[in-house]
């Protein structure tokens, strides 16, 4: 498959959100920050490692590996974070002659109202940009919200003029096949909140499809504790919250919420009053429990504002 070399830096190419060398300390920290069952993390890491140690040795006619892993699940379960972290962990584990590279695709930047433009953009990005990077060494590509690129063609309404989207999905499938045949050192990590919207042909090409679940009771407690500990780095007094009975009750009430929302409930608790917002170190276990109650009463959708500096410190 021939492609014309790109003269622009990868980060400036349309459809590329991020490009960096691996391993990456920032991404490795994400792997540790997302609390999932350990067996699930181990399975994801093992599958990703196999892509670079085994796939190139097998005959694709008998073992049709495509170098595609798909992570699905509700919003807020950490799919994008765990995919970024996984990319870094693989680079740490696999010995390679050349350094690993990471590219993150921005699917919405490839969409176009002009007929045929989406197909052309997808073909260029995968067939030229990704291929060129894979030529240079091991490459991991994140396709976030992959249903935007590989939409289920069987669900498209003819009244909505789906021709361009249909062609874009065709282009994704064709390019994945070509790239899989040529580059065993290439791994696609795809994520989606809506697996039912992903084309079945794309899912059939995935070497593994894993669902990231909402945190269980233990996971809720670990996430809430980790967030409190992050706040305690700046306001040590709040560490004592975890010794209160209200903290255990708050952890219990967090079941059914996603990890992102559980972390943000601490932010909501800090915005309980002006006094606490001005001094988050005065946060009480009762404030935290009340924030969880408010969140549950509002269907898990409540948001709260607080001083920007405190918010950045808490969520960094």
Q: How far is CA 139 from CA 6, 22, 129, 298, in A?
A: 17, 9, 12, 43
For residues 141 and 282, membership in a common domain is answered with no
In a domain, 17, yes or no: yes
Dig out the tokens for 164 from the structure. 């361009």
Q: What is the pTM of this model?
A: 0.86
**Do the strands 186-192 and 100-105 form a parallel or antiparallel pair, or are they unpaired?**
unpaired
Q: How far is CA 172 from CA 21, 136, 301, in A?
A: 25, 22, 35
Tell me, what's the pLDDT at 192?
97
Tell me, what's the pLDDT at 214?
95
Say if residue 248 is preceded by a cis peptide, omega within 30 of 0: no
Tell me, what's the pLDDT at 1?
44
Dig out the tokens for 174 from the structure. 């064709």
For residues 102 and 192, membership in a common domain is answered with yes
For residues 228 and 166, membership in a common domain is answered with no
For residues 140 and 26, membership in a common domain is answered with yes
Tell me, what's the pLDDT at 115?
46
For residues 205 and 222, membership in a common domain is answered with no
For residues 40 and 123, membership in a common domain is answered with yes
Tell me, what's the pLDDT at 187?
98
The residues, any chain, with a CB within 8 Å of residue 113's CB and separated by 6 or more, are: none
Give the distance, in angstroms, between the CA of residue 72 and the centroid of all CA atoms in the same chain: 9
CB 263 within 8 A of CB 250: no
For residues 111 and 55, membership in a common domain is answered with yes
Indicate the number of domains in the chain: 2
pLDDT in tens, the chain (316 residues): 445 555 567 767 878 999 999 999 999 999 999 999 999 999 999 999 999 999 999 988 898 899 999 999 999 999 999 999 999 999 999 998 899 999 999 888 776 544 467 788 888 999 999 999 999 999 999 999 999 889 888 876 554 546 767 888 999 999 999 999 999 999 999 999 999 999 999 999 999 999 999 999 999 999 999 999 999 999 999 999 999 999 999 999 999 999 999 999 999 999 999 999 999 999 999 999 999 999 988 875 544 444 444 444 444 4
d(C-alpha 162, C-alpha 155), whole Å: 10
Q: Which of 159, 182, 211 is the last residue of a domain?
A: 211
For residues 173 and 288, membership in a common domain is answered with no
Dig out the tokens for 27 from the structure. 């991404």
Tell me, what's the pLDDT at 117?
73
Dig out the tokens for 314 from the structure. 């808490």
CATH of the domain at 115: 3.40.50.300
Instruction: Choose among 198, 212, 184: nearest CA to 78.
Output: 212
For residues 57 and 202, membership in a common domain is answered with yes
d(C-alpha 257, C-alpha 241), whole Å: 20
For residues 296 and 192, membership in a common domain is answered with no
Dig out the tokens for 95 from the structure. 């010995």
For residues 153 and 282, membership in a common domain is answered with no
Extended beta strands in the chain, E state: 16-22, 68-72, 100-105, 139-143, 186-192, 208-211
For residues 21 and 159, membership in a common domain is answered with yes
Tell me if residue 150 falls in helix, strand or coil: coil
DSSP state of 285: H
Tell me, what's the pLDDT at 250?
96
**Do the strands 100-105 and 16-22 form a parallel or antiparallel pair, or are they unpaired?**
antiparallel
Domain that holds residue 147: 10-211
In a domain, 4, yes or no: no
Tell me, what's the pLDDT at 113?
46
């Amino acid at each position: 498959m021939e492609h014309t070399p790109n003269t622009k830096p990868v980060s400036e190419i349309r459809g590329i959100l991020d490009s960096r060398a691996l391993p990456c300390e920032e991404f490795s920290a994400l792997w540790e920050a997302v609390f999932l069952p350990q067996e699930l993390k181990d399975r994801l890491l093992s599958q990703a490692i196999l892509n670079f140690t085994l796939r190139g040795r097998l005959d694709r006619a008998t073992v049709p590996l495509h170098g595609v892993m798909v992570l699905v699940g509700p919003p807020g379960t950490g799919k994008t974070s765990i995919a970024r972290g996984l990319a870094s962990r693989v680079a740490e584990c696999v010995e390679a002659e050349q350094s690993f590279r990471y590219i993150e695709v921005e699917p919405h930047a490839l969409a176009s109202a002009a007929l045929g433009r989406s197909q052309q953009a997808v073909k260029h990005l995968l067939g030229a940009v990704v291929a060129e990077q894979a030529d240079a060494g091991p490459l991991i590509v994140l396709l976030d919200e992959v249903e935007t690129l590989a939409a289920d063609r069987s669900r498209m309404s003819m009244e909505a003029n789906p021709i361009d989207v249909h062609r874009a999905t065709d282009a994704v499938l064709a390019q994945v096949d070509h790239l899989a045949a040529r580059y065993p050192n290439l791994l696609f990590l795809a994520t989606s909140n809506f697996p039912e919207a992903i084309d079945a042909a794309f899912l059939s090409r995935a070497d593994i499809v894993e669902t990231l679940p909402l945190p269980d009771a233990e996971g809720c407690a670990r996430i809430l504790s980790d967030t409190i500990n992050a706040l305690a780095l700046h306001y040590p007094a709040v560490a004592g919250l975890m010794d209160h009975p209200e903290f255990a009750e708050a952890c219990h009430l967090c079941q059914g919420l996603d990890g992102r929302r559980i972390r943000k409930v601490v932010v909501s608790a800090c915005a309980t009053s002006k006094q606490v917002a001005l001094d988050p170190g005065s946060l009480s276990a009762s404030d935290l429990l009340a924030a969880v109650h408010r969140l549950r009463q509002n269907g898990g959708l409540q948001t709260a504002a607080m001083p920007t500096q405190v918010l950045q410190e808490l969520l960094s």
